[in-house]
């Protein structure tokens, strides 16, 4: 096998962090299972032992572990244990998919330039929680989701890509959330695929796509549409 063929056949080792139902995990796993995403899902890790995302992982034969916050003195101590769990699987990319805890500075530094997060808004709008409710209350015409590299700044790392989603008349938190989720489930595997194939890189916080500095996030349209 030639080196170029070997590189094309290589699957990037990935660990996914989640706290809830794991719908983004399921979308990523499906893309990998269909051969559309050249990654090896080595583990799903959660802060919540009862997270349904862990059930999804085990059903697919993917190792699933919980590192609960209880039993640790503080965030830093918990993050040390979390990093030890992750590193046992030797990932080259850590993917936050609905992981609902803030990381310590040391944890972020340990995974600098190789940890992605997806956030349900068009960042920098609506950082933090309750983004759908806040968009509706603000009368926004557009909402969406963003993928970014993780830094110490909450939802403030370098942006990679965004998927705009229209806010429709009569939308509720539930209907808008469902539309944003459809976009997330397409956007995230796409961006992970860019990283897995070497197209996307971050070096000391400078993001490049296809070798060119990424000054503004890539906008991918109509990802919210029904499949």
The string of DSSP codes covering 94-131 is: EEESS--SPPPHHHHHHTTTSEEEEESSSTTTT-SS-H
pLDDT bin (cut points 50, 70, 90) of residue 5 is very low
pLDDT bin (cut points 50, 70, 90) of residue 134 is very high
What local confidence, expressed as pLDDT, does residue 227 receive? 67
Q: Which domain holds residue 21?
A: 1-111
Token pair of 38 as six digits: 């050249």
- Close Cβ partners of 21 (under 8 Å, ≥ 6 residues apart): 51, 52, 53, 56, 98
Q: Is-catalytic flag, 185? A: no
Tally of domains in the chain? 2
Catalytic choice (119, 143, 185, 224): 119
Q: What is the pTM of this model?
A: 0.94
Domain match, 189 and 92 both:
no
Domain match, 126 and 202 both:
yes
Token pair of 169 as six digits: 């008349």
Cβ neighbourhood burial of 50 (10 Å; 0-12, 13-18, 19+): exposed
Domain match, 98 and 42 both:
yes
Q: What's the pLDDT tens digit per position in 76-106?
A: 999 999 999 999 999 999 999 999 999 999 9
Q: Is the pLDDT of residue 163 over 70?
A: yes
């Amino acid at each position: 096998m030639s080196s170029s063929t070997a590189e094309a056949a290589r699957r990037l080792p990935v660990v996914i962090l989640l706290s809830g139902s794991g719908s983004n995990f399921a979308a990523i796993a499906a893309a990998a299972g269909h051969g559309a995403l050249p990654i090896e899902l080595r583990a799903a890790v959660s802060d919540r032992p009862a997270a349904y995302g862990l059930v999804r992982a085990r059903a697919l034969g993917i190792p699933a572990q919980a590192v609960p916050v209880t039993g640790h003195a503080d965030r830093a101590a918990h993050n040390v244990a979390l990093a030890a769990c992750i590193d046992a699987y030797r990932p080259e990319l850590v993917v936050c998919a609905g992981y609902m805890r803030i990381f310590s500075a040391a944890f972020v530094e340990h995974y600098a330039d190789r940890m992605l997060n997806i956030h349900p808004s068009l960042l920098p709008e609506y950082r933090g929680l309750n983004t759908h409710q806040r968009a509706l209350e603000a009368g926004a015409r557009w909402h969406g989701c963003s993928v970014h590299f993780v830094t110490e700044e909450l939802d403030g790392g370098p942006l990679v890509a965004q998927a705009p989603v229209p806010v429709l008349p009569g939308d509720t938190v539930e209907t808008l959330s469902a539309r944003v989720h459809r976009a997330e489930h397409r956007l995230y595997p796409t961006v992970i695929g860019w990283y897995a194939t070497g197209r996307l890189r971050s070096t000391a916080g400078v993001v490049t796509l296809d070798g060119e500095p990424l000054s503004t996030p890539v906008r991918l349209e109509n990802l919210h549409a029904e499949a």
